[in-house]
């Protein structure tokens, strides 16, 4: 079993008088991780928020009724807690009335679970996010050398646990994940009035991978106004399907100020949306796939390492650009990504003159490992 970096983090946070919220898309391994943690503790009650009778037990429950449900257990784990009405208030009641009970709640929709718990659990929670398995976790599992050999496969099929554990069946599993789980929580939201447009939106984002995104242009392409496009993208981001990267702008008049790129948390899901599983050597989008993998894997790496850097891309009106930038404690580090090792990169003087203390580095298919670990 692949050891998840969050395992030690969550284990060390147990019984510190805090509710633990574990967020992340469906099928990223939240249940597997918590079952392992539960196996190392005694008196654990496991509840599934997707089940109707569990939802009913929490409806308008008093502290006495909640304690009767929990019994003598010292740990309460609620999977997919966002499906339970008023879950935030119920967790607050348990936490405040029975502080000796460790509560762990998971959610595949940050939008729903955070909305339901933010106010009731203010000052009462630790919050963690679990991503699909990371390059660094796999390198830790079977060595950096072996995982680097898999990079062409990961560019196409991604890092969902079921994909990694079922080599040879990636296409069928990805199709199942995309069709059965990807939209499960989003389509339950009242905000989604036109679910067929949501699929078209994701496909449009998939085809624009690595490019600057215009809500107006996408809206015209799929038949939605720009405000609805923005709303849908925000929901997709809170459901851990895509995330935004904004443009850096500080020193120059011609820096793009409102520009954004949108990346997918997982390459495999992106490719499933457009039904393209060609090998990397045959693809026109190899560079974009490499960029998406590097940005998403770097995000995982920074998140687990608690490296709180601000992240951007950089572009001017004259189309000078840099793929990825991190800004931490005033230090700016700029990176260019090239899948083709033969391509040379020269960082534009417009950038280096404007940010003279910034470091610059080319990341390619030979040296990417150090960028992700």
pLDDT, tens digit, 9 for 90 and up, residues 69-78? 999 999 999 9
Question: Which of 88-92, 166-170, 235-239, 319-323 bottoms out in mean pLDDT, i.e. has the lowest?
Answer: 235-239
- Is residue 338 over pLDDT 90? yes
* Contact criterion met (CB below 8 Å) for 320 and 348: yes
CATH T-level fold of 6-129: Rossmann fold (3.40.50)
pLDDT for 342 equals 84
| Helix or strand run (H / E) with residue 299 | helix 286-304
pLDDT for 179 equals 81
- In the chain, what are the domain boundaries? 6-129, 135-372
Q: Across-strand partners of 245?
A: 261
* Contact criterion met (CB below 8 Å) for 223 and 193: no
pLDDT for 189 equals 64
pLDDT for 206 equals 96
CA 34 to CA 361: how far, in whole Å? 38
Q: Average pLDDT of 331-344? A: 93
More confident call, 116 vs 65: 65
pLDDT for 339 equals 96
Write out pLDDT tens, residues 246-293: 999 887 788 888 899 999 999 999 999 999 999 999 999 999 999 999
Identify the band that residue 68 occupies on the pLDDT scale cut at 50, 70 and 90.
Answer: very high
CA 368 to CA 144: how far, in whole Å? 11
**C-alpha dist (Å) from residue 38 to 16, 34, 104, 130:** 16, 6, 10, 17
- Is residue 365 over pLDDT 90? yes
Taking each helix axis as running N to C, give the angle between helix 195-207 and helix 215-222, from 0 to 180 degrees, rounded to the nearest 10: 130
DSSP label of 134: P
pLDDT for 255 equals 86
Q: Average pLDDT of 52-67? A: 95
Dihedral over alpha carbons 220, 225, 226, 230 (to 10 degrees) = -120
More confident call, 108 vs 8: 8
Phi, then psi, of 67 in degrees rounded to 5: -70, -35
- Is residue 187 over pLDDT 70? no
Identify the band that residue 191 occupies on the pLDDT scale cut at 50, 70 and 90.
Answer: low
Distance of CA 213 to the CA centre of its chain: 19
pLDDT for 235 equals 86
pLDDT for 185 equals 64
Per residue in 141-176, is it b (16+ CB within 10 Å) or e — as a string?
eeebeebbebbebbbbbbbbbbbbeeeeebbebbee
pLDDT for 124 equals 96
pLDDT for 324 equals 98
Q: Average pLDDT of 193-215? A: 90
CA 267 to CA 157: how far, in whole Å? 6
**C-alpha dist (Å) from residue 322 to 266, 271, 312, 325, 347:** 22, 24, 9, 8, 8
Long-range CB pairs of 200-207 (<8 Å, 24+ gap) are 201/229, 201/232, 201/233, 201/236, 202/236, 202/241, 202/242, 202/273, 203/273, 203/274, 205/233, 205/242, 205/262, 205/264, 206/264, 206/270, 206/271, 206/273, 206/274, 207/274
Both tokens of 306, joined, read 């608690």
The rounded mean pLDDT for the chain is: 93
């Amino acid at each position: 079993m692949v050891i998840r970096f969050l395992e030690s983090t969550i284990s060390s946070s147990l019984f510190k008088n805090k509710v633990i919220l574990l967020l992340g898309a469906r099928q990223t391994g939240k249940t597997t991780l918590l079952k392992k943690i539960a196996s190392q503790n005694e008196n654990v009650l496991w509840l599934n928020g997707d089940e109707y009778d569990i939802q009913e037990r929490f409806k308008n429950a008093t502290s006495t009724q909640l304690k009767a449900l929990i019994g003598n257990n010292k740990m309460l784990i609620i999977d997919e807690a966002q499906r339970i009405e008023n879950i935030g208030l119920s967790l607050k009641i348990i936490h405040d009335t029975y502080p000796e009970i460790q509560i762990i709640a998971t959610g595949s929709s940050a939008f729903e679970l955070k909305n339901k718990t933010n106010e009731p659990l203010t000052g009462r929670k630790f919050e963690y996010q679990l991503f699909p398995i990371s390059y660094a976790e796999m390198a830790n599992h079977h060595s950096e050398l072996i995982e680097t050999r898999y990079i062409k496969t990961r560019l196409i099929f991604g890092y969902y646990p079921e994909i990694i554990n079922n080599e040879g069946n990636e296409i069928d599993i990805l199709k199942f994940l995309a069709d059965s789980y990807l939209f499960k929580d989003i389509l339950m939201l009242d905000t989604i009035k036109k679910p067929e447009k949501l699929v078209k939106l994701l496909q449009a984002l998939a085809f624009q991978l690595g490019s600057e995104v215009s809500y107006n242009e996408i809206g015209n392409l799929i038949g939605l106004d720009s405000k609805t496009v923005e709303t849908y993208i925000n929901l997709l981001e809170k459901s851990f399907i895509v995330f935004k990267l904004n443009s850096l702008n500080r020193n120059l008049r011609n820096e793009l100020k409102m520009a954004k790129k949108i990346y997918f948390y997982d390459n495999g899901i992106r490719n499933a949306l457009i039904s393209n599983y060609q090998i990397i050597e045959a693809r026109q989008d190899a560079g974009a796939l490499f960029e998406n993998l590097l940005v998403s894997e770097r995000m995982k790496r920074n998140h687990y390492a608690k490296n709180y850097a601000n992240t951007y891309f950089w572009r001017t009106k004259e189309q000078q650009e840099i793929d990825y930038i991190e800004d931490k404690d005033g230090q700016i580090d700029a990176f260019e990504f090239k899948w083709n090792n033969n391509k040379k990169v020269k960082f534009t003087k417009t950038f280096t003159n404007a940010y003279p203390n910034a470091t610059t580095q080319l990341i390619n298919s030979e040296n990417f490992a150090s960028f992700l670990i």
